[in-house]
């Protein structure tokens, strides 16, 4: 059914204006000469490098562990599935500061797994590993939810026919489900990547803000706001551009599965 034309388009204008004004304010405040100089600053590219490298690992973990989970939630009877769905939704809406504290109490030296990790000589907090775990914790549920919806949109008769033809579960997953759900998978990865790049609260509590080690772009923006505003604006524009690219990718794949 075609959507009807809105009789009073002005109804949407107040909220649209509210969404647009911050973007206008950011570009209005930006001094592009200072931004150009900021692009030559080593601290900027150090933060960009940390963000890109850690987010790449976190997205790989989302794909490795989240894709089978999404398929199982969509097309299998998983014990405790309602509880798993609740945990995914809870992680999606959990305040970042709470997530950071929870990760610290789980993997910190005095945390739940701290003694065992210490015995193995592994230190997690305030290392790049902590950045990856923080990003994975906040971005993974978003990917799982998106991929699950993609798998559920597939025609169930295809899976039944594959089983009749002798395909096992792995063959059904790898040869039928994944190729057909590629748009949803790639769109979910793009959204999860944008979420990982923008993570702040959990990272600063769990990984700290060590320049060149755990200082991601959002953390560098926070420091730059107090010490060097032009540096903060430069990083904000870079981060905004990367988020726009991720959103564009997600939109390109936001279509019904053939």
Spatial neighbors of 149 by CB under 8 A, at least 6 apart, are: 74, 184
pLDDT (tens digit per residue) in 74-110: 887 778 888 988 999 999 889 999 999 999 999 998 8
Q: Is the pLDDT of residue 128 over 60?
A: yes
Residue 257 pLDDT level (bands cut at 50, 70, 90): very low
**Which residues are within 8 A (CB) of 115 and not within 5 positions of it... i.e. 6 or more apart?**
none
Q: Tell me which of 204 and 7 has the higher pLDDT.
A: 204
So what's the pLDDT on residue 8? 60
* DSSP type of residue 30: -
Total-model pTM: 0.88
Start-end of H helices in the chain: 13-29, 32-38, 42-75, 81-93, 96-107, 114-119, 128-152, 156-164, 169-172, 178-180, 182-197, 201-206, 217-227, 229-252
CB contact at 8 A, 201 and 186: no
The CA–CA distances, whole Å, from 89 to 72, 132, 144, 176, 200 equal: 17, 20, 10, 27, 19
pLDDT of residue 63: 95
């Amino acid at each position: 059914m075609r959507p009807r034309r809105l009789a009073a388009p002005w109804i949407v204008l107040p909220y649209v204006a509210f969404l647009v004004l911050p973007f206008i304010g950011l570009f209005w405040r930006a001094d592009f000469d200072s931004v150009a100089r900021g692009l030559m600053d080593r601290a900027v590219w150090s933060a960009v490098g940390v963000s890109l490298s850690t987010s790449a690992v976190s997205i790989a973990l989302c794909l490795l562990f989240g894709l089978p989970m999404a398929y199982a939630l969509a097309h299998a009877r998983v014990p405790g599935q309602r509880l798993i769905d609740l945990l995914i939704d809870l992680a999606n809406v959990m305040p970042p500061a709470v997530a950071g504290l929870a990760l610290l109490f789980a993997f910190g030296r005095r945390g739940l797994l701290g003694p065992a990790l210490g015995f193995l000589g592994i230190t997690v907090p305030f290392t790049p590993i902590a950045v990856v775990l923080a990003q994975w914790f906040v971005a993974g549920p978003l990917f799982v939810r998106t991929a699950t919806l993609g798998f559920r949109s597939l025609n169930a008769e295809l899976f039944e026919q594959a089983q009749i033809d002798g395909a096992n579960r792995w063959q059904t997953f790898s040869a039928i489900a994944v190729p057909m759900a590629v748009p949803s998978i790639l769109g979910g990865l793009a959204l999860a990547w944008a979420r990982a790049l923008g993570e702040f609260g959990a990272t600063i509590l769990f990984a700290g803000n060590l320049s060149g080690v755990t200082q991601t772009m959002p953390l560098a923006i926070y420091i730059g706001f107090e010490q060097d505003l032009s540096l903060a604006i430069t990083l904000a524009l870079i981060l905004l551009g990367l988020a726009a690219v991720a959103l564009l990718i997600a939109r390109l794949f936001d279509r019904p599965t053939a």
